[in-house]
Amino acid sequence: MITVPPVNWPALLPYLVIGGGGLVVMLVDAFVRTLRKDHLTALTGLVFLGAAIAMIAVKPEPGPQLGGMLTVQMYTRFFDFLLLGIGLVTTVYGSAVYSQDGDYRPEFYPLVLFAVLGMMVLVAASDLLILFLGIETMSLAVYALVCGRRGELRSSEAALKYLLLGSFASAFLLMGAALLYGCAGGTSYAALAAVGGTGEGGPLFAVGLGLVLVGFAFKVAMVPFHMWTPDVYDGAPAHVTGFMATAVKAAAFGALIRFVTIALPGLAAHWSGLLTVLTVLTMTAGNLLALVQASIKRMLAYSSIAHAGYLLLGVLAILAPAGGDPGRPLRESAVVQAAGSGLLFYLLGYCLMNLAAFGVISQLGRSGGVEADQVDHYRGLSGRQPVAAAVLAVAMFSLAGIPGTVGFLGKFYLFEAAIRAQLVPLAIWGVVNSLLSVYYYLRVVVVMYMSDDQTEPFDGRNWETILLAGCLAALVVLLGVFPAAVHGLTSLAFGTMLG
Amino acid sequence: MALVSDHILSLVTFLPLAGALVILLCLARRPTAAGWLACGVALADLGLAVLLWLGYDPVPGTDQFVERAAWFLGGRVQYHLACDGISLVLVLLTALLGPLVILSTKSSLSQRVPLFMAMALFLQTAMIGTFLARDMLLFYVFWELMLIPMYFLIGIWGGPRRIYAAVKFFIFTMAGSVFMLVAILYCWFKAGTMDLGAWLALDLTPTEQLWLFAAFALAFAIKVPIWPLHTWLPDAHVEAPTAGSVILAGVLLKMGTYGLLRYAMPLFPAAAVTAAPVLAVLGVIGIVFGALVAWVQTDVKKLVAYSSVSHLGFVVLGLFSLTAQGATGGVFQMLAHGLSTGGLFLLVGILYERRHTRELADFGGLAHGMPAYASVFLITTLASIGLPGLCGFVGEFLILLGTFGSSQLPHAKLLVAVAATGVILGAIYMLWMYQKVFLGPLGSKKNQGLPDLALREWFVLVPLVVFMVWLGVGPNLVLAKVGPSVERVLEPLTAPGLVLPHGDPRPAPLWAVPAVLGGGGEVAP
């Protein structure tokens, strides 16, 4: 006899708003004949705002929901707001692109909403089943988004590739979850922590963990599970690429951080050796491959891999003290606190700078869906569109980690935590890597400011997109100069997760 | 007024940045107005720097006008500005060159003037901030921020190979700073704060000191540049527009020597003492190498660029003589070099605007047609060579004197002897260049009828000439303000009982050892 756990409606309200909103948007599009596409954009925006208002206005007791399937706390709320913001920005970018193309893609709007719903669930998951549910909801929506330009071969190829490889990754994750269930007798994080803490898991438990890790590694694009990233980022329309580079990555990291800290604090030793190797590989390969790209979208794809490497450094810093002293609860360690809040800060900054960059990229295309996807297409941009060029330049400097931008402070927080966690060689390697990255980010600035105009310039313009990207770039600088308030917030958010 | 006097350091630092933002936001399409606004802002900044100079009390040589506020991480990273004698003269130099540079570009610049002005002002903020910061992270932020405007100045308004030069400049400097960042993080881990004062009190083992010193010194040595890390300099100088070269030679290169004196040496005293012979020798190699290479240049600008390598070799030698005299001379030389080399680049720029060439072979006999220009050039050349009575002499003399009396530097006298040949070589290549350009018959037809100095150019050059003479005749004006601060900064290096990496505690105060021993390495206990 299955007992239905009590449902705490206020806590679930944001999820319901987003999910219900998605359905409404889809139905409105299908049945309201007199619709203009602006209406759908506005409606989608309203859904996002409604969800945000629901989170601000209704404050449920933080804690486990639906019998421990989901956890709602400040940590998940931090990610919810971030994801809603990214969703909103993507909606605006997307509708600008579609009006520029003269192409109408109504399915885009509900898909973004469903993807965001999946991501929010993914971050809040406290059970492997919900984790899987979140990942799949997110992924199915994103597979379809990648295929945003149906007529174009590249876009379809990217979608197919992503779908096939993503399915494999999901299968790995599911297999791992099954093995863990077999060992732990339950799928909740708490059950895993109970078995993991005693060290009685045995080899099957370790294999299960490894398979779950593969699932995560695919979503955050860790080397060697990164092969899909450049092709998919390149093939998808630029605003979707921006969505993938930011929201998908943020959500996957949000879930990964929760998973390792809640479910596996006692098993750091099993994870950290393997994770160290993956971290080094991810950073290095991402940066080296980004160096030789001629396409700006591929370059940013590899750069996002490199950034995943820096973020993994933070995850390692969380695991390191637990490895030294398995009995000690994580929340008592200052290093864990520093690494965790640094990770959240970095993720926030990373999303801001990437969204700013992809905004400029998405608006510059020509009508008919031709994108300015090569670095060379940006020649002399500063003369034609000074604001767009400045925004992209700020984003590039921030990605490169130049002081005065949020990218620098994010790295500062992460590397500082890594050094405190005794990961000095890794931190040095990270610093060397960010030096390497300067070269390819700088190249974009070089072509924009120092090269002459090309003969047939890309000159798409959309003031909404530029305004939004400009605000994001301003935030990049603002947070790079005054980080204290936001860092305090991320610190608090991470603290609530540790309990 | 209280606002000004309480926050004068913030004002002097951020006023140019405010000007830059106004230009970018309001005057982006009005080049003339942007130029005038930039000029006005730079002059106002100079006014503030003069106020600073007047209000500074030289006797204790301590940090003054201190501004402190928590920045982030619960106040462990602070916004901390302060000014002592060393910072003071360098800030004044920066503020003086600022308006001159902006004024000098008015005719030569045709495209994207507002952006240029904004970048020049932005650069000024970063440079002044670097000199005033007393929190390591704040320092690092300003230090790296300097790269961005300079990179644009070279890359957008530079010569034909500007992109190569700009990227090389950026990557070289960044490569150095990255290791400094690791060292900063390590010290932060040890100290738990980024405050310079707390770092000076850190108890580091000699081995730690050596590594940390190496990381800091590498970053600064690239910026100076110390031989053999100088290869970015000629490229950057030759490709940079006149304004870029002036700022680069006038101020940016001093960042390296300033950083050595302010951070690398006092923070890691034992390592600094150990490494002093190596760095002094590198300084001397730089002096001679720079001079010899300058001698064979056929491009005037390249010649001046290599002369910078030589002159800054003197500064490095002075600092690592580990004497207050030598280091004070080093700071003076930074100032003097800023004036004379800044002036030379301005003059070369003026010539290039008229003739569009910098090849020595294209010139000759210019003194006939441009007497005023030739006279100013001569004074600047002589100041650069180090003629007594002009600014260049004082610094070099003090450096050589300090090194000669150094008890810690092995073979100090030999080093002085070799370095002194640099003075002679300097006279040779500079006068040889002067002769080729200005003396003899007017060679080519193109050299005839070149206009002499215009009014605007007078405005730019006269202040420089005045200061070159003034500092040469009355060096005490500067030395009195710099000396006490240099002694304070060097205190950790002269403390008795300093444990060197090879393990021996240092026996006695060094100045007690007769300078005649000279050999330094083996002092009698």
Tell me, what DSSP letter sits at residue B108?
T
**CA B463 to CA B459: how far, in whole Å?**
7
* pLDDT at residue B293, as a whole number: 92
**CA B45 to CA A324: how far, in whole Å?**
54
Cite the DSSP H helix spans in A364-405.
381-384, 386-400
Average pLDDT for residues B289-307, to the nearest whole number?
Answer: 91
> What pLDDT digit, counting tens, does each position of B320-368 carry?
998 889 999 999 999 999 999 999 999 998 888 888 888 888 888 888 8
* pLDDT at residue B412, as a whole number: 84
**Chain B interface residues (partner A, CB cutoff 8 A):** 28, 70-73, 112, 115, 137, 140-145, 147-148, 151-152, 155-156, 162-163, 166-167, 170-171, 174-175, 178-179, 181-182, 185-186, 188-189
**CA B114 to CA A449: how far, in whole Å?**
14
Compare A59 and B235 and report the one with higher pLDDT: B235
Q: How many angstroms separate the CA of residue A390 from the nearest CA in chain B?
A: 11
**CA A425 to CA A340: how far, in whole Å?**
20
Per-residue pLDDT band at B190 (split at 50, 70, 90): confident
Judging contacts by C-beta atoms under 8 Å, the chain B residues touching residue A382 are 115
Say yes or no for a CB contact (<8 Å) between A431 and B178: yes
**CA A450 to CA B152: how far, in whole Å?**
8
Say yes or no for a CB contact (<8 Å) between B152 and A449: yes
**Whole-prediction pTM:** 0.89
Judging contacts by C-beta atoms under 8 Å, the chain B residues touching residue A411 are none
Q: By C-alpha distance, which of B400, B391, B394 is closest to B419?
A: B400
Q: How many angstroms separate the CA of residue B71 from the nearest CA in chain A?
A: 7
User: Tokens for A452?
Assistant: 């002459």
- For A440, name the nearest residue in chain B, comparing CA atoms only: B167
Average pLDDT for residues B260-279, to the nearest whole number?
Answer: 90
Phi, psi of A300 (to 5 degrees): -70, -25
Residue type for position A277 = V
Distance of CA B177 to the CA centre of its chain: 17
* pLDDT at residue B290, as a whole number: 92
* pLDDT at residue A337, as a whole number: 87
* pLDDT at residue A53, as a whole number: 92
**CA B509 to CA B455: how far, in whole Å?**
56
User: Tokens for A226?
Assistant: 């990164």
Q: By C-alpha distance, which of A280, A359, A319, A287 is closest to A100?
A: A359
Please provide the average confidence, as pLDDT, over all residues in chain B. 86
Q: By C-alpha distance, which of B57, B51, B43, B71 is closest to B8?
A: B51
- For B168, name the nearest residue in chain A, comparing CA atoms only: A439
**CA A363 to CA A356: how far, in whole Å?**
11
Residue type for position B81 = L
Say yes or no for a CB contact (<8 Å) between A420 and B28: no
Whole-Å CA distances, B245 to B38, B105, B360: 18, 12, 19
Q: How many angstroms separate the CA of residue B251 from the nearest CA in chain A?
A: 20
Judging contacts by C-beta atoms under 8 Å, the chain B residues touching residue A431 are 178-179, 181-182
> What pLDDT digit, counting tens, does each position of B86-123 carry?
999 999 999 999 999 998 887 677 788 888 999 999 99
Judging contacts by C-beta atoms under 8 Å, the chain A residues touching residue B144 are 402-404, 408
**Are the CB atoms for B213 and B271 separated by under 8 Å?**
yes
Q: Identify any residues that bridge with B64 across adjacent strands, giving them in sequence order.
A: B83
Q: How many angstroms separate the CA of residue B189 from the nearest CA in chain A?
A: 6
* pLDDT at residue A384, as a whole number: 85
* pLDDT at residue B501, as a whole number: 57
Per-residue pLDDT band at B515 (split at 50, 70, 90): very low
Judging contacts by C-beta atoms under 8 Å, the chain B residues touching residue A341 are none
Torsion of CA A17, A20, A23, A28, to 10 degrees: -70
Nearest to B167 among A397, A432, A446 (CB): A446
ipTM computed for the complex: 0.85
Judging contacts by C-beta atoms under 8 Å, the chain B residues touching residue A438 are 170-171, 174
Interface test with B, best of A440, A441, A450, A490 (most B CBs within 10 A): A450
Nearest to A403 among B141, B151, B155 (CB): B141
Dihedral sign for Cα atoms in the order A392, A398, A399, A403: positive
How do beta strands A63-65 and B77-83 pair? unpaired
- Block means of pLDDT (10 residues each) for chain A, 499 residues, are 77 92 91 79 93 88 82 92 95 88 82 96 93 94 88 87 92 93 87 75 82 90 89 92 94 92 73 85 93 92 94 88 56 81 95 95 79 86 89 94 91 89 88 88 88 74 90 95 91 86
Is the pLDDT at B399 greater than 70? The verdict is yes
**Are the CB atoms for B253 and B240 separated by under 8 Å?**
no
Q: By C-alpha distance, which of A255, A315, A226 is closest to A123?
A: A255
**Are the CB atoms for B20 and B125 separated by under 8 Å?**
yes
Is the pLDDT at B511 greater than 50? The verdict is no
Q: How many angstroms separate the CA of residue A449 from the nearest CA in chain B?
A: 6
* Cα atoms found within 13 Å of the Cα of residue A32, Cβ hemisphere only: 14
B307: Cβ contacts below 8 Å, ≥ 6 apart: B290, B291, B294, B341, B344, B384, B426, B429, B430
> What pLDDT digit, counting tens, does each position of B476-487 carry?
888 888 888 998
**CA A305 to CA A282: how far, in whole Å?**
6
**CA A457 to CA B228: how far, in whole Å?**
43
Q: How many angstroms separate the CA of residue A299 from the nearest CA in chain B?
A: 18
**CA B259 to CA B269: how far, in whole Å?**
14
**CA B427 to CA B386: how far, in whole Å?**
8
* pLDDT at residue B522, as a whole number: 39
Instruction: Report the percentage of chain B scoring pLDDT > 70.
Output: 94
User: Tokens for B368?
Assistant: 């006939």
Q: What is the 3-state secondary structure (H, E, C) of B481-511?
A: HHHHHHHHHHHHHHCCCCECCCCCECCCCHH
Q: By C-alpha distance, which of B332, B401, B115, B192 is closest to A393?
A: B115
Is the pLDDT at B491 greater than 70? The verdict is yes
Say yes or no for a CB contact (<8 Å) between B189 and A449: no
Judging contacts by C-beta atoms under 8 Å, the chain B residues touching residue A397 are 148
* pLDDT at residue B509, as a whole number: 38
Q: By C-alpha distance, which of B224, B457, B229 is closest to B318?
A: B224
Say yes or no for a CB contact (<8 Å) between A446 and B166: yes
Say yes or no for a CB contact (<8 Å) between A403 and B145: yes
Tell whether A334 is within 8 A of chain B (Cβ).
no
**CA A326 to CA A344: how far, in whole Å?**
24
Q: By C-alpha distance, which of B72, B169, B173, B83 is closest to B128?
A: B83
Q: How many angstroms separate the CA of residue A296 from the nearest CA in chain B?
A: 19
**Are the CB atoms for A385 and A324 separated by under 8 Å?**
no
> What pLDDT digit, counting tens, does each position of B128-183 carry?
999 999 999 999 999 999 988 998 899 888 888 888 998 888 888 888 888 898 88
* pLDDT at residue A199, as a whole number: 62
Which residue is listed with tokens 């160096």?
Answer: A291
**CA A20 to CA A9: how far, in whole Å?**
14
CB count, 10 Å around CB of B111? 10
